[in-house]
Amino acid sequence: MQTFLRGRDLISDLDFSKEEVETVLDVAWDLKRKRAVGEPHPYLRDKTLGLLFFFSSTRTRCSFESGMAQLGGHAAFIESRTTQISHGDTATEIGQILGRYFDGIAIRHCDWRVGNGYLNGVAEASRAPVLNMQCDVYHPFQCLADLMTVMEKKGRDLRKKKIVVSWAYASSYLKPISVPQSLILQMPRFGMDVTLAYPEEFMLMPEIVDEAKAQARKYGTGFEIVHDMAEGFRDADVVYAKSWGPLLTTDDPVEGKKLQDKYQDWITDAAKMRVAAPDAIYMHPLPADRDIEVTSEVMDGPQSVVFDQAENRLHAQKAVMALTMW
């Protein structure tokens, strides 16, 4: 167990070593137990967390605000468009100032080719730790909750277990690529064989894929890329299928929507789930486009763990806050 994470940023999934992630999970399960039995755990009494959002949120905002309250502290919601950030405050100024006001700064900024640079700019200037609530490159807290959920369902030893990280069609908007990128980076470290499935125009960042392959080599796991959804699902123990935009092909929303609409048959349905392992679980970070991205039969069915997964956002985030902000 790594016991000193105080003051550490969490921006990239690999900012924490495998052993440090294991510590986060141990603390998360302890906090989950305490929450279940009503045992107070005000480890961050009188601490404050600034929550800076450039991108809309439901689960992220609610889980961070609730988590800080349960830890005895306070979270302050800051919306970029209604503050001076929209009129000239730079990343350096925000880091310098909010780093003095708060004991931690959590930021969600998903604008393509902007968000991650902004988070790192704030972190360079801040005396308080900076936590990535999602950027254009990574979504580390979602991935921690996902790993926690997989271990609860499949056991702590994930060697020889297969996860398929698959693109799926959604009609709503061109979603960030950060969730699949975090998954392919983190899961090999814990023994999972990773299959990445997507239509050819929906590739991920080459440097992220290269690093994922390096992690797979380091930990002796499998990593493959396929361009057929059913092929990706074959014999998978964990099915993680969600939409993301073709941002490496085009960042034009009109052209991107045309590409997206070519693949409306990339839907998670009962037939595709039957190709996976008999005891496979279905995961999605939510919100999902029901009966477009995934059928209600699957999302509400016995293989779906999406609500346990959403709950674990609370516990994983509390663990990181307790470890970094005390």
Q: What is the mean pLDDT of residues 2-19?
A: 96
Work out the average pLDDT over 279-291.
Answer: 97
> How many other β-carbons are positioned within 10 Å of the β-carbon of residue 127?
12
Confidence of residue 2 (pLDDT cuts 50, 70, 90): confident
Residues 317 and 174 in one domain: no
In this structure, of 78-82, 126-130, 162-166, the range with the lowest mean pLDDT score is: 78-82
Average pLDDT, the chain: 97
**Cα separation of 140 and 10, whole Å?**
8
User: What pLDDT is stored for residue 56 in this prediction?
Assistant: 85
Q: Are residues 32 and 90 in the same domain?
A: yes
Nearest Cα neighbor of 51 from 22, 75, 74 is 75
Domain that holds residue 51: 13-138+313-324
In a domain, 4, yes or no: no
pLDDT in tens, 206-254: 999 999 999 999 999 999 999 999 999 999 999 999 999 999 999 999 9
CA gap 213, 231 in Å, rounded:
20
H/E segment holding residue 105: strand 104-109
Looking up residue 296, the CATH number of its domain turns out to be 3.40.50.1370
Give the pLDDT band of residue 3 (cuts 50, 70, 90). Answer: confident
Residue bearing the bigger pLDDT, 172 or 285? 285
Q: Is 174 in the same domain as 269? A: yes
Residues 1, 264: Cα–Cα separation, whole Å: 45
CA–CA separation, 227 vs 253, rounded Å?
22
Is residue 154 domain-shared with residue 291, that is, in the same domain?
yes
| Number of folded domains that form the chain | 2
Count of other CB atoms within 10 angstroms of residue 184: 26
Q: Are residues 57 and 152 in the same domain?
A: no
Average confidence (pLDDT) over 24-30: 98
Residues 187 and 95 occupy one common structural domain:
no
Residue with tokens 């996976």: 276
Let me know if residue 102 belongs to a domain. yes
Specify if 7 maps to a domain. no
pLDDT over 90, % of the chain:
95
**What's residue 1's pLDDT?**
83
Check whether residue 152 and residue 283 sit in a common domain.
yes
